[in-house]
Structure 1
Amino acid sequence: MKSLYFLTALLQIVAIYAQNNCNPKFYQCGGQTWKGSNCCNPGLQCVKINDYYSTCLPSSSSSNTSSNYNNNNYNTNYGNNNISNASNVQNASSNSGPIGYASLNGGTTGGQGGQTYTVSNQSQLESAVKKNEAKIIIINGIIKLTNDITLNSNTSLIGANKNSGITGAGLHFKNVKNIIIQNLKFSYCVGNNKDCINAQKSTNIWIDHCEFFNDRNHGKDYYDGLVDITHACDYVTMSWCSLHDHYKVSLIGHSEKNAAEDTGKLHITYHHNYFKNVGSRLPSLRFGTGHVYNNVYENVESSCVSIRMSAQALVENNVYRNAKRPISTNLDTPEEGYVIQRNNDFGNTANTNSITKIGSLNTVPYKYTADNTNSVYDIIRNKAGPQ
């Protein structure tokens, strides 16, 4: 009997010790290179996100989260994407990486295999992004910024839930590679660049399941772009994002005088994004090569897909609702672009198209599955943006 009492007391001590050394919500608790504690505080469960990263999530949602990822719903066919749990930390570093040009040039893996940092204020975020090694940075909640944040190479920046992100300023990176930005809200970006994301001379960028918005209460130049990719950036994918209430949304290639730097670069894929209550640049592409498919354009004031300055684009299976100039190749440019368009639903705006040059981009050098145009509107409205 004494031995039974002793064993019970010993188990209680072990349990207390384990609890004191367990991880709080959204902290890392496992992975191939993880050397810390594998347990989570009471009410939490350690959920595997990928081979390199597991995190502590509430027990009530852990089973759904684990099922979502381990059953590969976040798979290579984004048209069938089935992320449903609002508490999910997005799978930014799994083998099921981006579709599109960001999958080329060695692929885009972000901070895969690196240390994970959870941040909830500007000083913590600034400290984490300065590190040069591979890293996964999880933003928990909305961080109010007083200045733009600069990213280094091999970084995954992920929202802990559907209400995590930054406001007041944006992200800037230059001469870096291998960046993943996922599951984040960006708003009211009036920092140094006046862009929510400003990328220059950088390669392999994946922007996924994010939301971008400012407002249309000011003039169109009060803010700049939501996502601007310029100065010979290359191998970029933007997928499953919601972009709304803004004038100049996404500029690819900053200047008509930049042919020497940009020609042969700026390969970019836009798929499964929702553009609503916006002005133009969805995107505006100079000199580069674009694949634009399965996006929704709703209440667009000026123009949607603008391909100019000898750029080539394949524009397919998109849906346009009250969206002026769905596709144009000669808008505000001294040199036209080239487009192949197919299977698009222009609604009542087809007569405002201005495709003056037929392109040669019939196929793209990666695998993808385009959803049927008839189903795109409902799919995107329900699944674009943070989850």
Structure 2
Amino acid sequence: MSITRSTMLAGSGIALALAAAGCAGAVRAPVVQAQRVAAFENSPVGFASLNGGTTGGAGGATVTVRTAAEFARYATASGRYVIRVSGTISLPGMQKVSSDKTIIGVGASGRITGGGLTLSKVRNVIIRNLTFTGSRDDAINIEQSSTNIWIDHNDLSGAKDGLIDIKRGSDYITVSWNRLRNQDKTFLLGHSDDNGSEDRGRLRVTYVHNWFDGTNQRHPRVRFGNPVHVLNNYYSNIGSYGVASTENAGVYVERNYFENTRRPTVTQTGDSDPGNIKLLNNHLVNSGTPASRNPSLVAPIPYPYIPDGAPNVKAIVTAGAGVGKVG
């Protein structure tokens, strides 16, 4: 059965276990109750844990920045840096970030306003514990075959375009524990219907433990990527739709909590051709019936993990998502 409206897997772990061997496409409930852990990980789970892993600026110098000029200097520098953002930095536009960087807010004070971050042709970047508001473009834009990116524990709102766009052959990315609000277009995965030659076989992303708080659409909106794993997210008061799979994408929508969401999943939107969706044990409160299509065409998830039970997801995610909760 792919939908539940009653308690399942009560007490299952928050952590996604990544030490075991690969799992099959159909994920089974764990026989042994997993240990409950704090709402943060020291390293990424999901796709960003593969392909050599994602470590950001670990092992490099740690710097603290307070101005846009300081931020730009270190964000674009060669080599490894852990860049600590203290206070509010107003960017004049989209700031490029080079490879091997960790960008992390200090406490709950780190804020990026006015502009956003662009990751283009880069590898091994971590963005954590930052508040993004009021970008005149995207909050975070990932493109041009960028790989091994971890976007974790941020609060994002009010961007003119999208909050987190991933496109143009980018791959091995995890988006986790973020709170999204005050936004129309939230997560785009794959920028256009005519870019299949670059995107097929890539755009593999894990979306886990995110809180979509009254946002409208694209949670995510997927083209071509297969598999894309949408796991243990909380959807609250969603306007247009939750997850969209188009252009023959393969999206595994597993154990999410949909509340006041008229269309939890759709298999076509805009002018795009339809995509494929596999459903498993999603929890629905005052929400419509999720759409599924060709679930056998959704590729198996290639990493092991222990999911939270869907009825527990609302409490887990609202307690753990956003800034100020990273150890």
Deviation, 1:77, is: 4.9
Verify: 1:196 aligned to 2:196, yes or no. no
User: 1:252 is matched with which residue?
Assistant: 189
**Match of 1:214?**
158
- Kindly report which structure 2 residues correspond to 1:310-325, keeping only aligned pairs within 5 A, or say none: 310-325=248-263
- Structure (1/2) with the larger helix percentage: 1
Structure 1 contact 131–152 (Cα < 8 Å) conserved: yes
Q: Percent identity?
A: 36
For 1:133 and 1:169, the matched residues in 2 are separated by 24
Deviation at 1:354, TM superposition (A): 3.0
**Contact conserved, 1:340 with 1:362, CA < 8 A, in 2?**
no
For normalisation by structure 1, the TM-score amounts to 0.73
Say which SS state the counterpart of residue 214 (structure 2) adopts: strand
TM-superposed CA distance for 1:81, in Å, is: 4.1
User: What is the aligned partner in structure 2 of residue 302 from structure 1?
Assistant: 240
Confirm or deny: 8 A CA contact 1:330 1:356 kept in the other structure.
no
Give distance in 1, aligned partners of 2:95 and 2:262.
34
Match of 2:209 in 1: 272
Contact 2:178 2:210 in 1 (8 A): yes
- Which residue does the alignment assign to 2:86? 140
CA gap of 1:334–1:249, structure 2 versus 1, over 3 A, is closer
Contact kept, 8 Å, 2:278 with 2:293, in 1: the verdict is no
Q: Which residue of 1 aligns with 2:115?
A: 169
Question: In structure 2, what is the Cα distance between the partners aligned to 1:347 and 1:119?
Answer: 43
State the partner residue of 1:149: 95
Letter of the 2:55 partner, please give it.
T
Deviations 1:134-183 (A, max 9, x none): 11100011212222211000010011112212011100121110010011
Mapped partners of 2:16, 2:256: distance in 1? 19
- Per-residue CA deviations over 1:200-242 (Å, capped at 9, x if unaligned) read 0200110000110117xxxxxxx10000001000000000000
Secondary structure of 1:310's match? coil
Q: Find the residue that maps to 2:102 and give its secondary structure.
A: strand
Where in structure 1 do 4 or more consecutive aligned residues deviate above 3 Å?
73-81, 359-363
Residue identity opposite 1:184 in structure 2: L
Q: Which of 294, 302, 306 is matched with 1:365 structurally?
A: 302
Contact in 1 for aligned 2:14/2:307 (Cα 8 Å): no
Deviations along 1:323-346, one digit per CA (max 9) or x if unpaired, are 121011122244211111011012
Counterpart residue identity of residue 234, structure 2: V
Asked if 2 retains the 8 angstrom alpha-carbon contact of 1:308 and 1:333, the reply is no
Q: Relative to structure 1, is the Cα distance of residues 356 and 130 closer, same or farther in structure 2, using a 3 angstrom cutoff?
A: closer
Amino acid across the alignment from 2:57: G
Aligned to 2:168: 231
Q: Residues of 2 paired with 1:331 and 1:311: CA distance?
A: 13
Counterpart of 1:344 (choices 262, 282, 290) is: 282
CA distance in 2, matches of 1:130, 1:171: 11
Give the residue type in structure 1 aligned to 2:64: T
How big is the shift at 1:303? 0.8
Matched, 1:121 2:67: yes
Structure 1 CA distance for aligned equivalents of residues 109 and 16 of structure 2: 25
Cα distance, 1:189 vs. partner?
0.6
Q: How many residues align?
A: 294
Q: How far off is 1:382 after superposition?
A: 1.1
Q: 1:348 is aligned with what amino acid? A: N
Contact 2:110 2:131 in 1 (8 A): yes
Q: Which position in structure 1 is the counterpart of 2:224?
A: 287
| Residues 235 and 266 in structure 1, CA contact (< 8 A), matched pair in contact too | yes
Tell me the distance in 1 between the aligned counterparts of 2:140 and 2:113: 12
Structure 2's unaligned 5+ residue stretches are 1-12, 19-34
Q: Report if the CA contact (8 A) 1:330-1:354 is conserved.
A: no
Alpha-carbon deviations, 1:277-333, whole Å to 9, x = none?
A: 111000001000200010000111101100110100111110111112101112224
Deviation, 1:350, is 2.6
Whole-angstrom distance in 1 between the partners of 2:85 and 2:50: 27
1:106 to 37, 52, 55: 52
Check the 8 A contact 1:314/1:361 in 2, yes or no: yes
Alignment match, 1:381: 318
Q: Which has the higher contact order (CA 8 A, sep 6+)?
A: 2
Q: 2:183 is paired with a residue of what secondary structure?
A: strand
Q: CA RMSD in A?
A: 2.0
Aligned to 1:34: none
What is the letter of the counterpart of residue 181 of structure 1?
Answer: I
Aligned residue identity for 1:313: V
Could you say what secondary structure the match of 2:284 adopts? coil
Largest Rg, 1 or 2? 1
**Which amino acid is 2:236 matched to?**
E
The whole-number CA distance in structure 2 between the counterparts of 1:287 and 1:362 is 12
Give 3-state SS (helix, strand or coil) of 2:308's partner: coil
Q: Is 1:182–1:207's contact at 8 Å kept on the other side of the alignment?
A: yes
Give distance in 2, aligned partners of 1:334 and 1:114.
Answer: 43
Q: Within 1, Cα distance between the matches of 2:14 and 2:236?
A: 26
